[in-house]
């Protein structure tokens, strides 16, 4: 019952956010998949090959071809010859694309507006839950190429909890403890944990708040 209500609530929220994105003047002609494509290029901060972009989005190259063509026709992205391989092309945002992504991310847009109601503590709790849900989606093959802390080989959940409960986790990449509120959902330094046993252990440790 509880999970059904949660599912219904989340589905309702997703519909609301999508509907608002479609109504928004600047974004009215951008499908959510096209917005995700622009966001991936913006997050990377550099050009990407089409295959790399597909991997970031967790989809096949074939399935993003239409979106690429559409946003390219709108002047939001551009292609350039890959300096490492003259046969390959790299995609990057144009200045119009940068403006579009700023509109998508502005504080009064869609999901950002809904999240404004949360206290910092609630936002940190939700960020923690989002880590678990994304990892579950990854485990079920629903997404690929996610770059969360929970899926990262450098992540040591609750390894510092006894020393500093306010900063319970450790990022071994920089050997620094950090708070729940500082968990990353899309970290450029992430190294995907490819040891399935270690990943499963980390997920359980994180979920159960087990100290390391
Ligand atoms: S490298 Fe990034 S994703 Fe990995 S633990 Fe550190 S902050 Fe998190």
Residue nearest to atom 4 of ligand 1 (CA): 190
Which CATH number is 2-114 given? 1.10.10.10
User: What's the confidence (pLDDT) of residue 25?
Assistant: 53
The reply to whether ligand 1 has any atom less than 6 angstroms from the CB of 150 is no
Beta carbons within 10 angstroms of residue 196's beta carbon? 9
Which pTM was predicted?
0.76
The reply to whether ligand 1 has any atom less than 6 angstroms from the CB of 190 is yes
For ligand 1, mutation pick of 153, 179, 180, 189 (most atoms within 8 Å of CB): 189
More confident residue, 132 or 30: 132
Task: Ligand 1, residue 152: give the atom nearest the CA.
Answer: 4
Q: Where in the chain do CATH 1.10.10.10 domains reside?
A: 2-114
Q: Residues with Cβ < 8 Å from 68, sequence gap 6 or more? A: 37, 50, 53, 77, 91
pLDDT in tens, 116-174: 899 999 999 999 999 999 999 989 888 777 889 999 999 999 999 999 999 999 999 99
Q: Residues with Cβ < 8 Å from 141, sequence gap 6 or more? A: none
Residue nearest to atom 6 of ligand 1 (CA): 171
User: What's the confidence (pLDDT) of residue 108?
Assistant: 64
User: What's the confidence (pLDDT) of residue 29?
Assistant: 66
């Amino acid at each position: 019952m509880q999970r059904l209500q949660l599912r219904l609530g989340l589905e309702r929220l997703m519909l609301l956010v999508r509907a608002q994105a479609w109504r928004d003047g600047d974004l009215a002609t951008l499908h959510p998949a096209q917005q995700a494509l622009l966001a991936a290029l913006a997050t990377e901060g550099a050009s990407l090959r089409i295959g790399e972009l597909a991997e970031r989005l967790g989809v096949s190259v074939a399935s993003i071809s239409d979106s690429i063509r559409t946003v390219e026709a709108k002047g939001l992205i551009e292609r350039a010859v890959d300096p490492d391989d003259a046969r390959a092309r790299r995609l990057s945002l144009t200045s119009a694309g940068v403006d579009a992504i700023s509109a998508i991310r502005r504080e009064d847009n869609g999901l950002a507006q809904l999240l404004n109601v949360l206290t910092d503590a609630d936002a940190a709790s939700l960020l923690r839950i989002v880590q678990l849900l994304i990892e579950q989606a990854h485990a079920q093959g629903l997404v690929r190429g996610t770059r969360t802390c929970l899926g990262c080989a450098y992540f040591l959940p609750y390894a510092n909890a006894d020393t500093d409960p306010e900063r319970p986790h450790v990022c071994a990449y920089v050997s620094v403890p950090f708070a729940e509120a500082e968990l990353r959902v899309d970290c450029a330094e992430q190294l995907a944990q490819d040891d399935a046993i270690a990943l499963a252990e980390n997920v359980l440790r994180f979920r159960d708040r087990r100290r390391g």
